[in-house]
Structure 1
């Protein structure tokens, strides 16, 4: 039966991950470096070790003589005194192989240091000498003394006056050189290990210092959560500064939401207080309350509730992320619909919009804003409406929507009054007086702007500045 218990995996520390990543490449590289350095030292040591042996073999070949009886004599022996001292660890020998594997060479001439003994060459070495006639061959061999290991240089040549090839070799005890190489290897590994530890410590210190702004940011966020600070404070590197700014924006956004909700509730309470007071006074003043009065006051209450609900929803959508609406999807249907609604005006709508403008917000909100303004223009114009949309010249992340008409327009003193809730500058025309106020509220919710001015066509010009997707 499978285990249904789930285990909680703790996220790995960022510092631990970075240090572990550095160690994963540093340790192998340092080990390889120690091995390479040891190999180079070994090669150099044996090259230096082999040079005197190579010189001794060359000197022996040059100074060897063969008499009429085939006896071999050396006219000048190598000068190193160790060749004269018995079992000194330095030997030379001129001999022949008897054809038997692992058998001592038959001595034709030898150094006194051999003390009457001979040397044994392994079959691979003998084959190598035979195939490389006259060339130096380097190999290892068992020495004369117990535990002695020789490093030898040998050449197989045919001497003048002889028919059989002879082997001329010189050898030396390599145990001292081997110990030096081993000591160097241990020292190199120890130094690389120390360097590895120092490097890991340096990486750890660097990571801790490099990530210290993140730790500071974490503490500042904790201070905000605990109420010790209003915002994330401090100066941060360019890589982290945007994060701190976004956190401050998020904190401000949350505060604005709470404050806006408190304001909406207060406004709604004040807006409903007057109709309720009127109904209460009328109910107390007479036995019956006129139905027309009740209907009017309840309609006012309904409009106020609807208005504040719109504002609350717009405020929430205004800070949403990832919601976009192509502007053409809003303007095109209105351009087709409004002439049908206002048939008596022979309405003409001129639309000039920048290609592929996309509103960064909900479709319902842009429909409410542009729809209210175009409907308002169609209601008051004589014949023509002009709609323009383009990227704002001052900010490439904002777009400018301008709606004009050739109606009577407004007096400049009436622009501010027209944006107030419930304001109706012409009581003869149907409407609630909330349209322009809704547009203004929605524009502010999206951190945009809404302005009224005089149009060059003679009527009213409504200008919206709203966020768009991407830069122009």
Structure 2
């Protein structure tokens, strides 16, 4: 269900799919309407032509009816259509004498040979002289017939009313219409496929610049390019130029901000260093307080300088740092710094191409603090693993020390919080790691390690 919901959401959010769907629906509706209209027009045309042909036979029948000397009704000459002489051919004529009440006689006066021994059952209908009606009746083989009838009064016997009937099977209408509909369906189907293919090609062609723009943005986001490269259509090029201009101005502002932050930090560090040197020459209680507070102030300056540097680096596209060289250098430093503790470190294997999308100094700061914290609390072993998950980079550092209670794991991530005042440190290490990770869109999580100690999982953007 989640997969279906995800596909439906992508469908609703896809402009290309909505454009294609709307165009395809319009093509289908237009083709169906055109097919229905053409089929209806052809059906009416065939019906009118059919009725006209029946009318021609009816006129020919009326013109050939004569009374002989014995006042017997007969045909002066056979009708021209040979189907009228072929039994059960599907084309028939019949002549009835009308009674005084307007009802036909029970026996037809004349009929075509095509009727053989059958008689057309004509529905009762009151007709004025010369008026023509159309009916649908059943034929000799119970076939559906389309029939026209007309009442005429011969000039020789004006008191006698004759009902002239001509009928033909409706297959003569349905069969041409069916053939036409088949041909029309094939033609409209081919036209629809051609239109759909043209629409798909047009949409794909129109979308290619947008795909190139998306790829250019992805390259900027992944750190492969500092700006969107290439030429685009005149409708899109102004957008690309504006975006590249924003990137350039943003990089300039970031560089200026980093320079100012660095200048401010060095300006503050100089008087702090002077105060620390002066206080170190004195052994009074006040001097010790000054030394302690100056050291704390220097840590705070370093912390905020690192935040400012990372915040600026995040805004600059194209940053990329390989993990392996940084990790190997930090491991060598930690082994020398904590050589007296005898802690063994193991780094799991990971691809050489694994890289962090950010500055090298920030990565060193985060990994260095995690490794230093693990070395301080480990009993004998530290394990490091690097893995890629869903476009992110996850660095896991575990130790086999005494670990942390679940109630204090979130607290130690706060700036300046320490769980053991006997161990060296300022309480800023994990706080710096979390601050830098958040600035890059990542995070850090603390939980229990299977070895009994603490496991820190650092999630960062992967290049």
Structure 2 length-normalised TM = 0.52
Which digits, 9 at most, give the CA deviation of each residue in 1:143-192, with x for residues without a partner? 22x24332323212233314353211222233244222112213322332
Structure 2 CA distance for partners of 1:162 and 1:107, relative to 1, 3 Å? farther
Secondary structure in structure 1 of the residue aligned to 2:130 = coil
Residue 243 (1) aligns with residue 242 (2): no
- Cα drift, residue 99 of structure 1: 10
Runs of 5+ consecutive residues of structure 2 not aligned to the other structure: 284-300, 302-307, 313-463
Which digits, 9 at most, give the CA deviation of each residue in 1:112-154, with x for residues without a partner? 222242111234xx35xx2x6413333332222x243323232
Contact 1:93/1:111 (<8 A) preserved? yes
Structure 2 CA distance for partners of 1:178 and 1:280, relative to 1, 3 Å? closer
Secondary structure in structure 1 of the residue aligned to 2:108 = strand
CA RMSD of superposed structures (Å): 4.1
1:280 & 1:197 partners in 2: Cα distance?
84
Residue number in structure 1 paired with 2:144: 149
Contact 1:91/1:114 (<8 A) preserved? yes
Structure 2 CA distance for partners of 1:275 and 1:196, relative to 1, 3 Å? same
Which digits, 9 at most, give the CA deviation of each residue in 1:389-443, with x for residues without a partner? xxxxxxxxxxxxxxxxxxxxxxxxxxxxxxxxxxxxxxxxxxxxxxxxxxxxxxx
Residue number in structure 2 paired with 1:37: 38
Contact 2:92/2:167 (<8 A) preserved? yes
- Cα drift, residue 17 of structure 1: 1.0
- Cα drift, residue 196 of structure 1: 2.1
Contact 1:98/1:106 (<8 A) preserved? no
Residue number in structure 1 paired with 2:220: 224
Residue number in structure 1 paired with 2:10: 11
Residue number in structure 1 paired with 2:118: 117
- Cα drift, residue 84 of structure 1: 2.5
Residue 22 (1) aligns with residue 23 (2): yes
Secondary structure in structure 2 of the residue aligned to 1:155 = strand
Runs of 5+ consecutive residues of structure 1 not aligned to the other structure: 1-6, 288-304, 306-311, 317-472
Structure 2 CA distance for partners of 1:147 and 1:104, relative to 1, 3 Å? farther
Q: 1:189 aligns with which of 185, 188, 207?
A: 185
Residue number in structure 2 paired with 1:169: 165
Residue 80 (1) aligns with residue 75 (2): no
Secondary structure in structure 1 of the residue aligned to 2:180 = helix
Secondary structure in structure 2 of the residue aligned to 1:171 = strand
1:281 & 1:173 partners in 2: Cα distance?
121
Structure 2 CA distance for partners of 1:37 and 1:105, relative to 1, 3 Å? farther
1:101 & 1:177 partners in 2: Cα distance?
31
Give the stretch that moved more between structures: 229-238 or 77-86: 77-86
Secondary structure in structure 1 of the residue aligned to 2:228 = coil
Secondary structure in structure 2 of the residue aligned to 1:87 = coil
1:75 & 1:87 partners in 2: Cα distance?
23
- Cα drift, residue 55 of structure 1: 1.6
Structure 2 CA distance for partners of 1:284 and 1:110, relative to 1, 3 Å? closer
Residue number in structure 2 paired with 1:252: 248
Structure 2 CA distance for partners of 1:104 and 1:27, relative to 1, 3 Å? farther
Residue number in structure 1 paired with 2:51: 50
Structure 1 length-normalised TM = 0.51
Structure 2 CA distance for partners of 1:89 and 1:269, relative to 1, 3 Å? closer
Structure 2 CA distance for partners of 1:261 and 1:202, relative to 1, 3 Å? same
- Cα drift, residue 232 of structure 1: 0.5
Contact 2:96/2:104 (<8 A) preserved? no
2:257 & 2:154 partners in 1: Cα distance?
113
- Cα drift, residue 210 of structure 1: 0.6
Residue 209 (1) aligns with residue 210 (2): no
Residue 59 (1) aligns with residue 60 (2): yes
> Number of paired residues?
287
Residue 137 (1) aligns with residue 133 (2): yes
- Cα drift, residue 264 of structure 1: 0.8
